[in-house]
A and B are shown apart, each in its own frame.
Chain A
Amino acid sequence: LAKITQPISMDSYEGQEVNITCSHNNIATNDYITWYQQFPSQGPRFIIQGYKTKVTNEVASLFIPADRKSSTLSLPRVSLSDTAVYYCLVGHTGRRALTFGSGTRLQVQP
């Protein structure tokens, strides 16, 4: 199973770009990297997913280096509404559900 490490918390200001890095040293060959966002008292929401290089959607970008041992979620020009917990997940091979770590608590200030 991929061991995942991400910062416990981060602070930012409105309008700044935020980069959250996740370490997953023993990622398996056919594992995907997925990021979720969770607001208080709500279920996590899918943000972005990738396998290698760079993926971009209307919400975020995901950068994955060639060795795939880490990944970086990039949120451009954050707003107060981006204050949430962000989870990095790595897909398990075999027949097992995903494991969520404690996530990164992002606080955006005015």
Chain B
Amino acid sequence: DGGITQSPKYLFRKEGQNVTLSCEQNLNHDAMYWYRQDPGQGLRLIYYSQIVNDFQKGDIAEGYSVSREKKESFPLTVTSAQKNPTAFYLCASSKDLEGAAYGYTFGSGTRLTVV
């Protein structure tokens, strides 16, 4: 079955550490996205990528970094510069950047907690 796989499902980070969240898709989608969701809130866009080796900042990119070395993979690193990283992180993909025309496919999310 085609889909998006996020790992790990739960992640704990100590203060000052960098952590990387994995996102892999086998849908042959060009565009990939990272969103952050805080309790009771909607999704906020962190980064997105429309093609390999290209990515753009979203609305809340500070303290995060991404790479897109392969079409299938779009890992997100939460750096120590992100002061409040505890949240639910969602990865998504779409056929291309005109996501509204085709719909997004989401992964099952990674819940990050700072301890």
Contacts and interface: CB of A to CB of B under 8 A. Distances in A.
Given A41-B111, A42-B109, A32 B97 contact: no
24 contacts: A33-B100, A34-B103, A41-B109, A41-B111, A43-B107, A44-B43, A44-B104, A44-B106, A45-B106, A46-B103, A46-B105, A89-B100, A91-B98, A91-B99, A91-B100, A91-B101, A97-B48, A97-B99, A98-B45, A99-B45, A100-B42, A101-B42, A102-B41, A102-B42
Nearest to A45: B106
Contacts of A63: none
Give the dominant DSSP class at A's interface: loop
B100 A90 contact: yes
Interface string B19-44: 00000000000010101000001111
B101 A32 contact: yes
A41 B88 contact: yes
Nearest to B105: A46
The 6 A-B residue pairs with the shortest CB-CB distance, nearest first, are A91-B100, A43-B106, A100-B43, A102-B42, A97-B48, A46-B103
B90 interface: yes
Contacts of A99: 45, 59
A96 B97 contact: yes
B90 A98 contact: no
Given A46-B104, A103-B42, 20 more contacts: A31-B100, A32-B101, A36-B104, A41-B109, A42-B109, A43-B107, A44-B106, A46-B105, A49-B103, A87-B42, A91-B99, A95-B50, A96-B97, A97-B31, A97-B33, A97-B48, A97-B58, A99-B59, A100-B35, A102-B41
Contact of B45 (A42, A91, A97): A97
Nearest to B107: A43
Contacts of B90: 43-44
Interface in B85-115: 88, 90, 92, 97-101, 103-109, 111
B111 to A, nearest CB: 7
Given A41-B88, A95-B50, A34 B100 contact: yes
